[in-house]
């Protein structure tokens, strides 16, 4: 039961991340559609509070030739220096909304959730699929927990002397029994190994103990261990 909810949780997290990635993609696409590209100049490099990134302050001229400044965080501070020219994009109707024109600043918030969402969705789907296949298996948990072999009482149907076989001048006998599975109503016929004496005097009952193999009926057999090894 716990695995059922966990697999559903993983799948939902994956689908949620995919939705987030798709939402960011549409926003980025809309931003690029309504933006224009220009070149700005780095006027300041400021350390961030965490210390693992640097805030890059850039100044550029918008479409009205007005000077605009914006700040962008970068992880590789050595790639920038004071006075460097950088390419950027900004909204035509709002020049205060600007981003550096590179893959990280434009598409990172799209790629990350899509990649994680794909991974979580795949794992969750495989877990759900595996669980469903196990539930739909011919041998469900309850059936697999049972023993494959079952001892039953099979009805003696016929005692036959097989004249096709002769060993030391004797024809073997075989015992043929029938047993009907009460669950499936399937009739099983079981034939004993060759017996080189007449076992009729030892078959006092109308039934014989049989071992039924439910997984492989060909491995079912009659238990005639009560018969003597030989008769003088």
The set of residues, in sequence order, having a beta carbon less than 8 Å from that of 225 and lying 6+ positions away, is none
In angstroms and rounded to an integer, the radius of gyration of the C-alpha atoms of the chain is 40
Q: Are residues 48 and 107 in the same domain?
A: yes
Residue 142: predicted pLDDT: 47
Tokens representing 53 are 């990134």
Q: Global pTM?
A: 0.51
Helix (H, G, I), strand (E, B) or coil at 41: strand
What are the start-end ranges of the E strands in 115-206?
A: 149-161, 173-180, 187-191
Determine the Cα–Cα distance for residues 124 and 60; give it in Å rounded to an integer: 47
141 in a domain, yes or no?
no
Q: Are residues 155 and 122 in the same domain?
A: no
Q: Are residues 92 and 15 in the same domain?
A: yes
Return the number of other C-beta atoms located less than 10 Å from residue 133's C-beta: 9
Q: Are residues 131 and 19 in the same domain?
A: yes
Tokens representing 82 are 């004071």
227 in a domain, yes or no?
no
The set of residues, in sequence order, having a beta carbon less than 8 Å from that of 89 and lying 6+ positions away, is 31, 32, 35, 36, 37, 38, 98, 99, 101, 106
The last residue of one of the domains, among 97, 112, 135, is 135
Return the number of other C-beta atoms located less than 10 Å from residue 116's C-beta: 16
232 in a domain, yes or no?
no
Q: Are residues 112 and 197 in the same domain?
A: no
Residue 145: predicted pLDDT: 40
Distances from the Cα of 150 to the Cα of 2, 68, 200, 207, 227, angstroms? 33, 85, 26, 16, 21
In terms of residue numbers, what domain contains 65? 2-135
Q: Are residues 117 and 159 in the same domain?
A: no
Q: Are residues 127 and 151 in the same domain?
A: no
The set of residues, in sequence order, having a beta carbon less than 8 Å from that of 20 and lying 6+ positions away, is 113, 117
The last residue of one of the domains, among 90, 105, 135, is 135
Per-residue pLDDT tens listing for the chain (232 residues): 677 788 888 999 999 999 999 999 999 999 999 999 999 999 998 876 666 778 889 999 998 889 999 998 887 767 788 899 999 999 989 999 999 999 988 999 999 999 999 999 999 899 888 877 766 655 444 444 455 889 999 999 999 999 999 998 899 999 999 999 999 999 999 999 999 999 999 998 899 999 999 888 889 999 999 999 887 6
Q: Are residues 74 and 111 in the same domain?
A: yes
In the chain, the number of structural domains is 2
Give every strand in the sheet of 173-180, ordered side by side. Answer: 187-191, 173-180, 149-161, 207-213, 221-222
Residue 79: predicted pLDDT: 78
Residue 214: predicted pLDDT: 87
48 in a domain, yes or no?
yes
161 in a domain, yes or no?
yes
Q: Are residues 173 and 122 in the same domain?
A: no
């Amino acid at each position: 039961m716990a695995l059922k909810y966990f697999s559903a949780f993983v799948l939902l997290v994956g689908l949620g991340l995919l939705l987030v990635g798709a939402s960011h993609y549409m926003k980025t696409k809309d931003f690029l559609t309504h933006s224009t590209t220009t070149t700005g100049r780095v006027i300041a490099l400021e350390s961030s509070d965490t210390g693992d990134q640097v805030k890059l302050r850039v100044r550029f001229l918008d479409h009205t030739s007005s000077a605009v400044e914006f700040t962008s965080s970068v992880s590789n501070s050595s790639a920038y220096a004071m006075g460097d020219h950088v390419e950027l994009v900004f909204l035509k109707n709002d020049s205060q909304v600007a981003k550096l024109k590179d893959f990280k600043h434009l598409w990172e918030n799209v790629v990350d959730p899509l990649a994680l969402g794909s991974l979580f969705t795949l794992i969750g789907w495989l877990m759900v699929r595996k669980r469903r296949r196990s539930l739909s298996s011919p041998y469900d948990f309850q059936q697999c927990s049972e023993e494959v072999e079952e001892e039953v009482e099979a009805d003696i149907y016929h005692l036959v002397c097989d004249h096709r076989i002769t060993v030391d001048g004797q024809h073997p006998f075989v015992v043929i029994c029938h047993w009907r599975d009460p669950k499936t109503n399937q009739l099983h016929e079981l034939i004993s190994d060759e017996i080189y004496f007449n076992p009729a005097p030892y078959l006092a009952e109308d039934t014989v103990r049989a071992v039924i193999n439910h997984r492989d009926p060909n491995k079912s057999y009659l238990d005639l261990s009560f018969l003597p090894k030989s008769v003088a």
